Structure 1
Amino acid sequence: MNSVAIIGVGCRPFGRYQDTSVRQEAVAAVRQALADASVTWPQIDYAVGGSMSAGSADTLVSDLGLTGVPFVNVFNGCATGSSSLISAVHTIEAGAADLALVVGFDSHPRGAFAIDPAAMGLGDWYGPSGLALTSQFFALKIQRYLHEHGVPERLLAKVAAKAFRNGALNPNAWRRKPLSEADVDASMMLSDPLRQYMLCSPGDGATAVVLCRAGKAREFSPHPVYVASAAVRTRRPGSFEVLSPSLSVRRGVSPTVDAAAAAFELAGIDPAEVDLAQLQDTDAGAEIIHMAETGLCTDGEQTELIDSGATELTGRLPINTDGGCLANGEPIGASGLRQIHENVLQLRGAAGERQVPGAPKVALAHVYGAPGLSAATILTR
Structure 2
Amino acid sequence: GSALISAVNAIRSGMADVVLAVGFDKHPRGAFDPRPEDWGLGEEYGSDGLMVTTQFFGMKIRRYMHDHGITPQTLARVAEKAYRNGELTPQAWRRKPVSAAEILDSGMVSDPLTRFMFCSPGAGAAALVLCSPEVARTLEGPSVALRSAALRTRQFGSFEVFSPWVAGGEPTSVSRAASAAAFEEAGIGPGDIDVCQLQDTESGAEVMHMAECGLCEHGEQERLIAAGVTEIGGALPVNTDGGCIANGEPIGASGLRQVYEVVQQLRGRAGDRQVPGASRTGFTHVYGAPGVSACTVLTR
Unpaired segments ≥5 residues, structure 2: none
Q: Which runs of structure 2 are paired with 1:198-213 in the superposition (5 Å)?
A: 198-213=117-132
What corresponds to 2:186 in structure 1?
Answer: 267
Looking at structure 2, the residues matched to 246 and 310 of structure 1 have their Cα atoms a distance apart, in angstroms, of 36
Looking at structure 1, the residues matched to 190 and 40 of structure 2 have their Cα atoms a distance apart, in angstroms, of 35
Q: Which runs of structure 2 are paired with 1:150-161 in the superposition (5 Å)?
A: 150-161=69-80
Looking at structure 2, the residues matched to 95 and 289 of structure 1 have their Cα atoms a distance apart, in angstroms, of 38
What corresponds to 1:283 in structure 2?
Answer: 202
Q: What letter corresponds to residue 219 of structure 2 in structure 1?
A: G
Looking at structure 1, the residues matched to 269 and 50 of structure 2 have their Cα atoms a distance apart, in angstroms, of 43
Confirm or deny that 1:90 pairs with 2:9: yes
Matched-pair contact (CA < 8 Å) for 1:134–1:243: no
What corresponds to 2:144 in structure 1?
Answer: 225
What corresponds to 2:240 in structure 1?
Answer: 321
Q: What letter corresponds to residue 98 of structure 1 in structure 2?
A: D
Matched-pair contact (CA < 8 Å) for 2:154–2:173: yes
Looking at structure 2, the residues matched to 221 and 154 of structure 1 have their Cα atoms a distance apart, in angstroms, of 46
Matched-pair contact (CA < 8 Å) for 2:35–2:51: no
What corresponds to 2:252 in structure 1?
Answer: 333
Matched-pair contact (CA < 8 Å) for 1:237–1:250: no
Aligned-residue identity in percent: 59
Confirm or deny that 1:174 pairs with 2:93: yes
Matched-pair contact (CA < 8 Å) for 1:255–1:372: yes
What corresponds to 1:351 in structure 2?
Answer: 270
Matched-pair contact (CA < 8 Å) for 2:49–2:56: no
What corresponds to 1:185 in structure 2?
Answer: 104
Deviation by residue 1:23-80 (Cα, 9 ceiling, x = unmatched): xxxxxxxxxxxxxxxxxxxxxxxxxxxxxxxxxxxxxxxxxxxxxxxxxxxxxxxxxx
TM-score by length of 1: 0.76
TM-score by length of 2: 0.96
Matched-pair contact (CA < 8 Å) for 1:120–1:371: no
Looking at structure 2, the residues matched to 153 and 375 of structure 1 have their Cα atoms a distance apart, in angstroms, of 28
Matched-pair contact (CA < 8 Å) for 2:33–2:52: no
Matched-pair contact (CA < 8 Å) for 1:164–1:179: yes
What corresponds to 1:214 in structure 2?
Answer: 133
Looking at structure 1, the residues matched to 294 and 34 of structure 2 have their Cα atoms a distance apart, in angstroms, of 21
| Higher mean C-alpha displacement, 111-120 vs 199-208 | 111-120
Looking at structure 2, the residues matched to 342 and 151 of structure 1 have their Cα atoms a distance apart, in angstroms, of 28
What corresponds to 1:197 in structure 2?
Answer: 116
Confirm or deny that 1:237 pairs with 2:156: yes
Residue 121 of structure 1 and its aligned partner are, at CA, apart by 5.1
Residue 109 of structure 1 and its aligned partner are, at CA, apart by 1.0
Q: What letter corresponds to residue 271 of structure 1 in structure 2?
A: P
Q: 2:65 is matched with which residue: 143, 146, 161?
A: 146
Looking at structure 2, the residues matched to 320 and 101 of structure 1 have their Cα atoms a distance apart, in angstroms, of 24
Looking at structure 1, the residues matched to 266 and 249 of structure 2 have their Cα atoms a distance apart, in angstroms, of 23
Residue 219 of structure 1 and its aligned partner are, at CA, apart by 1.9
The change in CA–CA distance for 1:380 and 1:118 in structure 2 (over 3 A counts) is farther
What corresponds to 1:374 in structure 2?
Answer: 293
Looking at structure 2, the residues matched to 268 and 348 of structure 1 have their Cα atoms a distance apart, in angstroms, of 21
Q: What letter corresponds to residue 199 of structure 2 in structure 1?
A: Q
| Higher mean C-alpha displacement, 346-355 vs 362-371 | 362-371
Residue 125 of structure 1 and its aligned partner are, at CA, apart by 5.4
Matched-pair contact (CA < 8 Å) for 2:50–2:161: no
Looking at structure 2, the residues matched to 243 and 281 of structure 1 have their Cα atoms a distance apart, in angstroms, of 19
What corresponds to 1:360 in structure 2?
Answer: 279
Confirm or deny that 1:249 pairs with 2:168: yes
Looking at structure 1, the residues matched to 154 and 25 of structure 2 have their Cα atoms a distance apart, in angstroms, of 25
Looking at structure 1, the residues matched to 159 and 49 of structure 2 have their Cα atoms a distance apart, in angstroms, of 18
Q: What letter corresponds to residue 90 of structure 2 in structure 1?
A: P
Residue 230 of structure 1 and its aligned partner are, at CA, apart by 0.7
Looking at structure 1, the residues matched to 153 and 49 of structure 2 have their Cα atoms a distance apart, in angstroms, of 25
SS in 1 for 2:120: coil
Q: Which runs of structure 2 are paired with 1:298-309 in the superposition (5 Å)?
A: 298-309=217-228
What corresponds to 1:295 in structure 2?
Answer: 214
Q: What letter corresponds to residue 339 of structure 1 in structure 2?
A: Q
Aligned residues: 300
Looking at structure 1, the residues matched to 60 and 106 of structure 2 have their Cα atoms a distance apart, in angstroms, of 20
SS in 1 for 2:163: coil
Matched-pair contact (CA < 8 Å) for 2:147–2:298: yes
The change in CA–CA distance for 1:215 and 1:144 in structure 2 (over 3 A counts) is same
SS in 1 for 2:72: coil
